[in-house]
């Protein structure tokens, strides 16, 4: 392997690429990884020399604090390639701000902005062949931070590792999703870490989600932990409701992730002169809207799914089917987002970030 320095990043190049053995038409989300990974260690109170190296296993001690106290945060991003072989990220500065916000909540050190963006530039240039052009193709980019200090006393770690790995991706949900409104379990609570993209938030969802899946539902829409009366977000998506021609979504709070796709949909709604309200949304309001026919759509918004229509929901053992709506907002927003991400249309909000 050849080791060189690029923009303060040590680059260790692989001798052979794995890409020839990949069937890009048959990808399972998050199972295939590219040739390279980025990593940078935090030791002695500061971030050390960042490195891009071939994707490979790493050695970590069993006593690393991440295994015992859950100091782990992550992000989800996507890279896109247009027909001229240019590569773009979508609003990556929002991801950078959010991972540092998440890290601060878990008493972890924040990562330098220049390291983050130089790391992305170097990594995505090396892995450019893994980013396929065309709507529906993307490279999922996963930055994350874990506590690596080998100690099992209950306190924040003194050492960490920041990493970025990448996985080629197709559409996350290919069919409309059926969801269950939460009545017993909670994703997060007031004063907790729901707003942070902390690994433990997702681990806590797996069991109740598995119960929902046994009933034929793919996701749970979580309700507030105090009363379970108000709808907040799904396990992998923020949620929007269309009542007649008005779009409604729950406000951010310390229980809800500040979704980047969510913010983009709100802006696109304003751009399209669609009436949108950011307010609390009650379970009873949505059930009644479904009964009287005013509930036209429910859809999720997130990095992996982009926009995912919801075809039915269940609450209190009652199932509500949502009819297909012609000229749906979900289709409109998905088309507009994908066109921006793939450099097929104007980007008046400067959401695209070109990798050069």
Strands 352-355 and 87-90 come out as: antiparallel
351 lies in some domain: no
Q: pTM to 2 decimals?
A: 0.95
pLDDT of residue 12: 97
pLDDT digits (tens, 9 = 90+) for 314-327: 999 999 999 998 89
Q: End of a domain among 138, 169, 200?
A: 169
User: Using one digit for the tens of pLDDT, what is the confidence trace for 53-66?
Assistant: 999 999 999 999 99
Residues 257 and 152 in one domain: no
Residues 34-54 have pLDDT tens digits of 999 999 999 999 999 999 999
- The whole-angstrom separation of Cα 158 and Cα 108 is 9
Considering the domain boundaries, does residue 250 fall inside one? Answer: yes
Give me 143's structure tokens.
Answer: 């930055």
Q: How far apart are CA 293 and CA 3, in angstroms?
A: 63
Q: Which residue range(s) make up the domain with 209?
A: 177-341
Q: What is the pLDDT of residue 176?
A: 87
> Residue 94's Cα: distance from chain center in Å?
12
Do 9 and 143 belong to one domain?
yes
Final residue belonging to a domain, choices 124, 152, 169? 169
Residue 70 has pLDDT above 70, yes or no: yes
Per-residue model confidence (pLDDT) at position 6: 52
* pLDDT tens digits, 243-298: 999 999 999 999 999 999 999 999 999 999 999 999 999 999 999 999 999 999 99
Counted domains in the chain: 2
163 and 183 housed in the same domain: no
pLDDT at residue 5, rounded to an integer = 52
Confidence bin at 236 (pLDDT 50/70/90): confident
- DSSP annotation of 182 reads -
The 10 Å Cβ neighbour count of residue 1 is: 8
> 239 and 99 in one domain?
no
Based on the fold, state whether residues 6 and 149 are members of the same structural domain.
yes
Does the pLDDT at position 8 exceed 90?
Answer: no
Last residue of a domain, one of 169, 199, 219: 169
In a domain, 62, yes or no: yes
Per DSSP, which regions of 148-269 are E strands?
160-169, 177-181, 219-223, 230-234, 238-243, 246-249
Same domain, 165 and 192: no
Q: Specify the pLDDT at position 174.
A: 72
The model's pLDDT over 324-340, given as tens digits with 9 standing for 90+, comes to: 988 999 999 999 999 99
Question: What is the Cα–Cα distance from 312 to 87, expressed in whole angstroms?
Answer: 37
Q: Quick check: is 69 in a domain?
A: yes
* pLDDT tens-place string over residues 103-156: 999 999 999 999 999 999 999 999 999 999 999 999 999 999 999 999 999 999
Question: 256 vs 81, 178, 196, 272, CA distance in Å?
Answer: 31, 21, 8, 26
Task: Provide mean pLDDT across the span 210-214.
Answer: 97
What angle do helix axes 260-271 and 92-105 make, rounded to 10 degrees?
140
Identify the CATH number of the domain in which residue 19 sits.
3.30.470.10
* Strand bridging mode 276-278 / 281-282: unpaired
- 164 shares its domain with 183: no
348 in any annotated domain: no
Q: How confident is the model at residue 22 (pLDDT cuts 50, 70, 90)?
A: very high
Residue 350, in any domain of the structure: no
Mean pLDDT of the chain: 95
pLDDT at 3: 53
- Banded pLDDT at 305 (limits 50, 70, 90): confident
Do 259 and 136 belong to one domain?
no
Confirm whether 64 is domain-assigned: yes
pLDDT at 214 over 90: yes
Q: Is the distance from CB of 73 to CB of 145 less than 8 angstroms?
A: yes
| Mean pLDDT within 5-14 | 82
What's the average model confidence in pLDDT over 195-222?
A: 96
Same domain, 188 and 127: no
Q: Are residues 197 and 255 in the same domain?
A: yes
How long is the chain? 356
Same domain, 165 and 190: no
pLDDT score at 239: 97
- Answer whether residue 356 is part of any domain: no
Supply the CATH number for residue 243's domain. Answer: 3.20.10.10
Q: Are residues 55 and 197 in the same domain?
A: no
Q: Residue 7: is its pLDDT beyond 70?
A: no
The predicted-structure confidence for 163-200, as pLDDT tens digits, reads as follows 999 999 987 767 889 999 999 999 999 999 999 999 99
């Amino acid at each position: 392997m050849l080791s060189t320095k690029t923009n303060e990043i040590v680059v260790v190049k692989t001798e052979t690429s794995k890409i020839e053995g990949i069937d890009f038409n048959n990808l399972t989300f998050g199972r295939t990884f590219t040739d390279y990974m980025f990593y940078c260690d935090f030791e002695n109170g500061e971030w050390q020399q960042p490195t891009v190296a071939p994707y490979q296993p790493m050695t970590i001690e069993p006593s690393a604090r991440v295994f015992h106290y859950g100091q782990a945060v992550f992000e989800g991003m996507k890279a896109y390639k247009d027909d001229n072989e240019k590569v773009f990220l979508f609003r990556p500065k929002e991801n950078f701000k959010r991972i540092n916000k998440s890290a601060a909540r878990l008493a972890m050190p924040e990562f330098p902005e220049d390291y983050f963006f130089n790391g992305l530039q170097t990594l995505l240039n090396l892995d450019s062949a893994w980013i396929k052009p065309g709507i529906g193709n993307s490279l999922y980019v996963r930055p994350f931070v874990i506590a690596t200090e080998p100690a099992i006393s209950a306190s924040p770690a003194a050492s960490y590792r920041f990493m970025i790995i990448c996985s080629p991706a197709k559409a996350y949900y290919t069919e409309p999703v059926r969801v269950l409104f939460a009545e017993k379990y909670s994703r997060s609570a007031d004063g907790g870490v729901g707003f942070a993209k902390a690994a433990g938030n997702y681990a806590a969802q797996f069991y109740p989600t598995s119960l929902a899946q046994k009933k034929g539902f793919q996701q749970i829409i979580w309700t507030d932990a105090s009363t379970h009366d108000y709808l907040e977000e799904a396990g992998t998506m923020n949620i929007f409701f269309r009542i007649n021609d008005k779009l409604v979504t729950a406000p951010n709070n310390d229980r809800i992730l500040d979704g980047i796709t969510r913010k983009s949909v709100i802006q696109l709604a304003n751009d399209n002169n669609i009436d949108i309200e950011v307010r609390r949304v009650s379970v009873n309001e949505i059930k009644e809207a479904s009964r009287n026919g005013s509930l036209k759509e429910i859809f999720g918004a997130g990095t992996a799914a982009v926009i995912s229509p919801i075809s039915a929901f269940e609450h209190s053992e009652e199932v509500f089917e949502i009819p297909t709506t012609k000229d749906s907002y979900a289709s409109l927003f998905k088309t507009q987002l994908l066109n921006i991400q793939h450099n097929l249309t104007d980007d008046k909000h400067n959401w695209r970030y070109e990798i050069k």
